[in-house]
Structure formats: structure tokens, C-alpha cells
């Protein structure tokens, strides 16, 4: 399991790049539904897999971010400041 956890952690830099890129698309257009859906999918995956591989802080941050993103998807109106704050917490957990 330790080897799998290390392999999982090695993906963090590319996940960070992907998250940042998606956020730029969302923030620039303020309504890029495809980017928001993809960001949600990525964060949802981190929420589920983080704890499995021993990254509980990442998992918790991703769960909180996931809730904000899903609310934006469901309502059609993303709370940008809240989403950015939660997303920053996910990125910090990926860097740790």
C-alpha cells in the first residue's frame, strides 16, 4: 500500500497544473460549464481517493471544495470567492 501511496502522490504536480488550468478557464469566462464539470470530476476523485491512500487532509479539503463546486453546477451560479478559497486549500494539501 505504501508503494501505491507514493505513486498516487507522484501525480500531485500534474493534478495541480490541471486544477489551476481549469480554474483559469472558469474565472476568465465566468461560466465555462465544461471546465466546471471537469474541475468537479477531478476534485471529486481527490475527495474519494485521498483518504484511501493516506492523505486525509487532501480528502477533507477536496470534499469541502466539491460541495461548493456542485452547488455552482446545480444552481448555474458559482460562488467564485468561496470556490477559490476551497480550491486553494486543495492545492495547499497537494503541495504538503
CA distances to 5, 40, 73, 77, 84 from 87, in Å: 22, 11, 15, 16, 5
List, in order, residues 6 or more apart from 66 with CB less than 8 Å away: 40, 43, 44, 47
Q: What is the pLDDT of residues 13-61, one digit of tens each?
A: 999 999 999 999 998 876 688 999 999 999 999 999 999 999 999 999 9
Record the pTM: 0.91
Homologous superfamily of domain range 2-95: HPT domain (1.20.120.160)
- What residues does each domain of the chain span? 2-95
Amino acid at each position: 500500500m505504501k508503494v501505491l501511496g507514493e505513486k498516487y502522490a507522484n501525480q500531485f504536480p500534474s493534478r495541480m497544473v490541471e486544477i489551476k488550468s481549469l480554474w483559469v478557464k472558469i474565472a476568465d469566462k465566468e461560466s465555462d460549464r465544461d471546465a466546471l464539470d471537469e474541475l468537479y470530476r477531478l476534485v471529486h476523485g481527490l475527495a474519494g481517493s485521498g483518504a484511501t491512500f493516506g492523505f486525509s487532509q487532501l480528502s477533507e479539503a477536496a470534499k469541502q471544495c466539491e460541495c461548493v463546486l456542485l452547488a455552482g453546477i446545480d444552481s448555474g451560479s458559482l460562488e467564485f470567492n468561496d470556490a477559490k478559497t476551497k480550491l486553494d486549500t486543495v492545492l495547499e494539501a497537494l503541495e504538503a
